[in-house]
Amino acid sequence: MSAIDSPATRRRGGRTSLMAARGAEKTPRLSTINYAIKPVEAVSADQLERIHLASLAILREIGIDFRDETALRQWREVGADVRGERVHLEPDMIMGLISKAPRSFELRSRDPDQRVTISQETLTFGTMQGAPNVRDVNGVRRSSTMEDLRDVNRLTQMLPGFHVAGGFTCEPTDIAVPWRHLHINRSSLVETNLPYFGLTTGQQRAEDSIAMARIAYGEEFMKSNAVIIGQISGNSPLVWDATMLEGLRVYAEANQVVLLSPFVLGAANTPADVAATAAQLNAEALAGLAYTQLAVPGTKMIYGQYSVSVSMRSGAPMSGMPEVSLLNVLVGQLARRYGIPWRTTASQSSAKTFDPQSGYESAIAYMSGATAKSNLFLHAGGWDEAGLVCCLAKFVADAEQNLLIAKYAQGVSFDHFDDALEAIRRIGPGGHYLGDAFTLKRFKEAFISPELLDYLSYEQWKAKGSKDMAQRCREKAKATLESYEPPQIDVAVREELDAFVAKRQNEISPSLA
């Protein structure tokens, strides 16, 4: 042995201790992931400038619709050229507003130790959103219910690979639409203690979301801390709707985070051209981001985008395509130019089941986001069937992939470089490192060892029941749900949330009961 292995602490207690230690070994929840890789770039600085200038020209010459009276009034007040709903914006005004955005901010959790920084140098994972169906732990596809949403929130809480709960990961279709947002928020707050996505579809739903967050976190706390994100979707081409802008203002005024996502269906609502699609997407994003800073200067915001290309055979959205990967890289380059953290769509697939297509599309989406240095990986949990199904098997597989991507993003460490070089001297030509003291010390941290991907020999795999990835993941999802431990929440807070839901249901429409 060498100096690495100090005799004073050699005894580890043999089998009993190791079994107990390995049994209790639990991968800790991801904390802030700091990038240490250099991002790939798809275009030169000159080409990037062409896209940027094209976006500004679109906003000045074509203009963008803000279908919202308040927003139009606010634009007029600062001297923008407003013609009906069409707003024409000068480059200086846009860039001046955008410069007011914070470059870095924190998301807080009910666990005081769990703080996540969002900036251009960090990486954050959130689950999928908006599926009307689930593929459950038995592999059955059906309309999702409140209990399914509670289950995905339970998985989010238990699996270490998520920073942010999706909020409306799947739709509780068994709850009447006017009441639904109340129950979605309640589940985010009760089943998880993570920062989460609230509802943004209209003034009232946004206000209810903020009110419920304040019950759990306290109004005072939320004045200076962000705990909830509002997802504001654009209506491409070149439209921001009243519904979304109302939601945006509610979140911004409450000092919470907004994520502005133009919605790109490449070649359907953008030109059939990657660079021009980026220019349009960027124009939409810039207008939304600038408006956010006009409405509430200093608002914490994330440059969003949802990008897929469209199959000209059927009109269906396609993920994992090379054009989408290139768009990711372009948006990354643009967002860095503006100094604003940006979001990618991490794990998306159009596959109907958790099959090889699902794996390929998702893996490409993951890696394109990571190499482009995206700061929020949204939909990094469960997304199949172009977002129409939340697959619980894929949910747990994605949670594991998040750990792998996090490792990749953190780049190459030189912390042990010299010790490792010494090992090369020790072993020399023709030997092996498996029994070397350095390997023994470092193997667990140096190379990640996933649980759900299978690396058994054929014989071992067969002996363990010849299970494919989907089956292993269904079993993992089931076991995780069985071992679910709810996060701490004060009984009084829980009762207040329940009372709020009951009161608001009654105010909205008591007859739905």
Partner 1 sequence: MSDEQIFLSELSDDELVQQMHDDLYDGLKEEIEEGTHILLERGWAPYKVLTEALVEGMRIVGEDFRDGILFVPEVLLSANAMKAGMFILRPLLAATGAPKQGKMVIGTVKGDIHDIGKNLVGMMMEGAGFDVIDLGINNAVEKYMAALEEHQPDIIGMSALLTTTMPYMKVVIDTMKEKGIRDDYVVLVGGAPLNEEFGKAVGADAYCRDAAVAVETAKDFMKRRHNTRSDR
Q: Summarize as ranges the residues that interact with partner 1 (CB under 8 A).
A: 1, 7, 9-19, 22, 432, 434-436, 439-440, 443-444, 457-460
Angle (CA) 218-224-230 rounded to 5° is 80
Nearest approach in angstroms of CB 428 to partner 1 is 14
Closest CA relative to residue 377, chosen from 113, 166, 145, 72: 166
Nearest approach in angstroms of CB 400 to partner 1 is 17
Sequential DSSP letters for 369-434 = HHHTT-SEEET-SSEEGGGTEEEHHHHHHHHHHHHHHHHHHT----TTHHHHHHHHHHH-TT--ST
- Record the tokens describing residue 86, joined without a space: 């069409």
Sequential DSSP letters for 136-185 = -TTS-EEE--HHHHHHHHHHHHHSTT-SBB-SSSB--TTS-HHHHHHHHH
Nearest approach in angstroms of CB 25 to partner 1 is 11
Nearest approach in angstroms of CB 348 to partner 1 is 33
* 367 versus 427: smaller Cβ distance to partner 1: 427
Nearest approach in angstroms of CB 418 to partner 1 is 20
* 263 versus 438: smaller Cβ distance to partner 1: 438
Strand 306-310 to 86-88 pairing: unpaired
* 57 versus 446: smaller Cβ distance to partner 1: 446
Closest CA relative to residue 107, chosen from 297, 295, 233, 255: 255
- Distance, in Å, from the CA atom of 399 to the CA atom of 376, rounded to the nearest integer, reads 14
CB 288 within 8 A of CB 240: yes
Nearest approach in angstroms of CB 137 to partner 1 is 24
Nearest approach in angstroms of CB 458 to partner 1 is 7
Going across the sheet that includes 301-303, the strands are 196-197, 228-233, 257-261, 301-303
* 143 versus 460: smaller Cβ distance to partner 1: 460
- Distance, in Å, from the CA atom of 505 to the CA atom of 499, rounded to the nearest integer, reads 10
- Distance, in Å, from the CA atom of 190 to the CA atom of 185, rounded to the nearest integer, reads 9
* 11 versus 313: smaller Cβ distance to partner 1: 11
Nearest approach in angstroms of CB 14 to partner 1 is 3
* 10 versus 83: smaller Cβ distance to partner 1: 10
Give me the count of residues in the chain. Answer: 513
* 414 versus 458: smaller Cβ distance to partner 1: 458
* 112 versus 428: smaller Cβ distance to partner 1: 428
Nearest approach in angstroms of CB 445 to partner 1 is 12
* 7 versus 112: smaller Cβ distance to partner 1: 7
3-state secondary structure (DSSP) of residue 223: helix
Nearest approach in angstroms of CB 475 to partner 1 is 16
* 14 versus 112: smaller Cβ distance to partner 1: 14
Angle between helices 242-253 and 203-217 (to 10 degrees): 20
* 7 versus 28: smaller Cβ distance to partner 1: 7
Closest CA relative to residue 168, chosen from 154, 188, 189, 151: 188
Nearest approach in angstroms of CB 159 to partner 1 is 20
* 22 versus 83: smaller Cβ distance to partner 1: 22
473 φ/ψ sector (left φ>0, alpha ψ -120 to 50, else beta): alpha
- Distance, in Å, from the CA atom of 299 to the CA atom of 255, rounded to the nearest integer, reads 7
Nearest approach in angstroms of CB 11 to partner 1 is 5
Closest CA relative to residue 234, chosen from 197, 271, 259, 261: 261
CB 484 within 8 A of CB 152: no
Closest CA relative to residue 248, chosen from 216, 207, 276, 277: 207
Q: Where do we find the tokens 């890289």?
A: 329
